[in-house]
Amino acid sequence: MKFLRNLLAAILGCMIACGIIFVMFFLFVGIVSSSDETVAVKPNSVLELQFQQPISDYVGDNALDPFAGGLFEQNQGLDEILQAIMVAKDDNDIKGISINNNFIMAGLAQTQAIRKALHEFKESGKFIYTYGDFYMQKDYYLASVADSVFLNPVGVLDFRGLSSEVLFFKDLQEKTGVKLEVIRHGKYKSAVEPFIANEMSDANRKQIKELIGSLWNSMVDDISEGRNISAENLNIIADTLGGRSPEYALNSGLIDEIAFYDQYEGKLRNALDLGADEDLNIVQLSDYVLRSNKKVLKKGKDKIAIVFAQGEILYGEGGTDVIGQGIINEAIIKAREDKEVKAIVLRVNSPGGSALTSDIIWREVELAKEVKPVVVSMGNVAASGGYYISVGADKIFAEPTTVTGSIGVFGTVPNMAQLAEDIGINAEQVGTNKNAVEYSLFEPMDEGFRKVVQEGIESTYQTFLERVSQGRNISMAEADSLAQGRVWSGVDAKRLGLVDELGNLEDAINSAAELAGIDSYGIKKFPKYKTGLERFMEDLGGASASLKEKFIKDEIGTEAYSILKEVRTAMDQKGVQARMPFVLTIK
């Protein structure tokens, strides 16, 4: 026994030592990699854009993080991508951009922002070429800004118009005996519709059709300008699947040339006037970001703070992809109390979530607005709770392809009464007062409890309307007419007065500077997220759910995982929700 104990102790000691060495190795790699001040870019180079990771609006202010951009970074920051393109525009060593991407993992508004930055890059006189083995619709939307579009001879171009699919789980609930009890306000508030019906309501079908129609029109307008094809002809091409083969795509004018990648490289060489024995210098975006991040584009003693709020809204601290009142309010307070900061831009990219948390953040925006101007810039989506935290700002900007509105609330309560009966479980409750036993998962919901929850829903909805009425300077009746859970595109939101202007983050920053009365200024970004090392150590200790999610996703597949996550999210919702009226999957 003593031998076994000593052996186990030795093995455990070795494992701990190996773990320490492993961590120290990553520390060393991070420190060494961060020691390079910049990435060398040879003259006459091409910047290659490959978006191989999901794109977030912001991955953190990593100036003091030696691991930033290294082994621990999982997402690409939209702010860093746009900065790189702007720096490349005036970089004499960069002669053009090559977009070599087959599947951009970004929202439509983010893609539109990158496309706009590329359009401005072209104004410098430099070229943009793009190559694809295949183009999905969002990829082609981005590619259409290029001077020349190339497609693999056996590739395909998907151009058919937008669609959205909604899954319904009513029959599944009846078969399993596990259901969601739903209380809601708003005829368009259909976030819970999949759990109470087997088919789409007319109201939901109407709003989805009008929403994706508006988004498609914005895409078509941009593609029309980029490719010099009328919107009418683009819709004909979509209806006839005019890009389904390289030959069709070429004849339709969607692309400029069919080519293998080596032939595409030849085109790049020609654009750079390279001789046969000269090297083609390609600079990867991930490398160039390290260089461009060190370039300060806006300078000045005065500052404008950008507070990034991205992800679901949940009660608590929050993080890189969750909006919690802890981290967001702390960021707003710091920006408000910073004497150098003259205005605040709140960048919102959220489908909503907890109504309570949304109101707590709304209040902090109100307090900040009393001290200095607050401008909102909406990203891919700023709906329901995302709109809630935005509506108090002095001015609101949305992209044409932003999804916003969804002024409505709901509550869901899981119930297993039928399952309990089917498998022979009987739950008995004992309480001291009439309402001591508020609700049991194993008993059917009684009308008294439903009435209390409905009162909470109605109260929250009225509060939401008051915030909208006050923030947008309209009557409660007008706010209600735009509410009922209805979602809108940025274009329609502007027409209806839910937002003030159509524009990107840069437009919002310029507006904030104008409201603050400053001409020259620098930028401060909030909040400060955990460093790459801190996130890595959490993963190593099993504290992060991201590793578990990745494992499940790899095992069951992305599509099945998305369905599982949708059901799980609905089951886990706590309190009254101000959330997007449906899971919007645009194809």
Q: What is the CATH number of the domain that holds 266?
A: 3.90.226.10
pLDDT at 569: 56
Would you say residue 203 lies in a domain?
no
How far apart (Å, rounded) are the C-alpha atoms in residues 467 and 159?
41
Q: Do 281 and 421 sit in the same domain of this protein?
A: no
What would the 3-class secondary structure string for 193-216 be?
Answer: HHHCCCCCCHHHHHHHHHHHHHHH
Who's near 219: CB < 8 A, 6+ residues apart?
Answer: 108, 137, 141, 162, 401
Q: Which of 103, 106, 130, 107 is nearest to 118 (CA)?
A: 130
pLDDT at 468: 96
Would you say residue 182 lies in a domain?
no
How far apart (Å, rounded) are the C-alpha atoms in residues 147 and 122?
8
Q: Do 439 and 556 sit in the same domain of this protein?
A: yes
| Residue 209 CB neighbour total at 10 angstroms | 12
CA dihedral 422, 424, 430, 436 (to 10 degrees): -20
* Cβ density class 307-327: b for 16+ within 10 Å, e for less: bbbbbbbbbeebbbebbbbbb
Residue 232: both structure tokens together = 């009418």
The per-residue pLDDT of the chain, averaged, comes to: 86
Domain extent for 271: 45-160+241-292
48, 283 Cβ separation under 8 angstroms:
yes
pLDDT at 500: 98
Q: Do 257 and 388 sit in the same domain of this protein?
A: no
Q: Do 141 and 83 sit in the same domain of this protein?
A: yes
45, 95 Cβ separation under 8 angstroms:
yes
Helix (H) or strand (E) segment spanning residue 299: none
Q: What are phi and psi of 425, to 5 degrees?
A: -100, 130
Would you say residue 344 lies in a domain?
yes
Q: Do 345 and 280 sit in the same domain of this protein?
A: no
Would you say residue 13 lies in a domain?
no
How is 246-293 classified by DSSP, letter by letter?
HHHHHHHTS-SEE--HHHHHHHHHHHTT--TTS---EEEHHHHHHHHT
Among 292, 324, 353, the domain-final residue is: 292
Would you say residue 220 lies in a domain?
no
Q: Do 382 and 417 sit in the same domain of this protein?
A: yes
Q: Tens place of pLDDT for every residue, the chain, 587 residues?
A: 555 555 555 666 556 655 555 555 554 445 444 444 557 899 999 999 999 889 999 998 554 454 554 445 568 999 999 999 999 999 999 999 999 988 899 999 999 999 999 999 999 999 999 999 999 999 999 999 999 999 999 999 999 999 998 888 888 888 899 888 888 776 655 667 888 888 898 888 988 999 999 999 999 999 999 999 999 999 999 999 999 999 999 999 999 999 999 999 999 999 999 987 889 999 999 999 998 998 888 889 999 999 999 999 999 999 989 999 999 999 999 999 999 999 999 999 999 999 999 999 999 999 999 999 999 999 999 999 999 999 999 999 999 999 999 888 888 888 898 988 888 989 888 989 888 888 888 888 888 888 888 899 899 999 999 999 999 999 999 999 998 888 999 999 999 999 999 999 999 999 999 999 999 999 999 998 865 555 555 555 544 555 556 556 555 555 554 555 555 555 555 556 666 555 556 65
pLDDT at 64: 46
Among 250, 266, 292, the domain-final residue is: 292
| Residue 501 CB neighbour total at 10 angstroms | 15
CA dihedral 446, 450, 451, 456 (to 10 degrees): 150
Who's near 194: CB < 8 A, 6+ residues apart?
Answer: 166, 167, 168, 169, 170, 566, 582
Give me the half-sphere count of Cα atoms (radius 13 Å) on the Cβ side of residue 551. 7
The model carries a pTM of: 0.84
| Residue 71 CB neighbour total at 10 angstroms | 12
CA dihedral 69, 71, 72, 78 (to 10 degrees): 30
Helix (H) or strand (E) segment spanning residue 181: strand 179-185
Q: Do 249 and 371 sit in the same domain of this protein?
A: no
Q: Do 255 and 332 sit in the same domain of this protein?
A: no
Would you say residue 188 lies in a domain?
no
188, 486 Cβ separation under 8 angstroms:
yes
Would you say residue 225 lies in a domain?
no
> At CA 13, angle to CA 7 and CA 14, rounded to 5?
90
Helix (H) or strand (E) segment spanning residue 63: none
User: Scanning the structure block, which residue is given the tokens 């909470």?
Assistant: 456
* Amino acid identity for residue 538 in this structure: E
pLDDT at 579: 61
Give me the half-sphere count of Cα atoms (radius 13 Å) on the Cβ side of residue 536. 18
Who's near 293: CB < 8 A, 6+ residues apart?
Answer: 69, 80, 83
pLDDT at 262: 95
Give me the half-sphere count of Cα atoms (radius 13 Å) on the Cβ side of residue 431. 9
Q: Do 501 and 415 sit in the same domain of this protein?
A: yes
Q: Do 502 and 456 sit in the same domain of this protein?
A: yes
Q: What are phi and psi of 38, to 5 degrees?
A: -155, 170
- Region at 241 (left for phi over 0; alpha for psi -120 to 50; beta for the rest): left
Residue 159: both structure tokens together = 């151009």
Helix (H) or strand (E) segment spanning residue 99: strand 94-100
| Residue 264 CB neighbour total at 10 angstroms | 21
How far apart (Å, rounded) are the C-alpha atoms in residues 527 and 305?
10
How far apart (Å, rounded) are the C-alpha atoms in residues 216 and 203?
20
pLDDT at 115: 97
Q: Do 418 and 557 sit in the same domain of this protein?
A: yes
Among 226, 259, 292, the domain-final residue is: 292
Residue 291: both structure tokens together = 């260089």
304, 341 Cβ separation under 8 angstroms:
yes
User: How many structural domains does the chain have?
Assistant: 2
Q: How many residues does the chain have?
A: 587
Would you say residue 100 lies in a domain?
yes
Q: Do 453 and 511 sit in the same domain of this protein?
A: yes
Catalytic positions, written as ranges: 189, 384
pLDDT at 185: 74
pLDDT at 32: 45
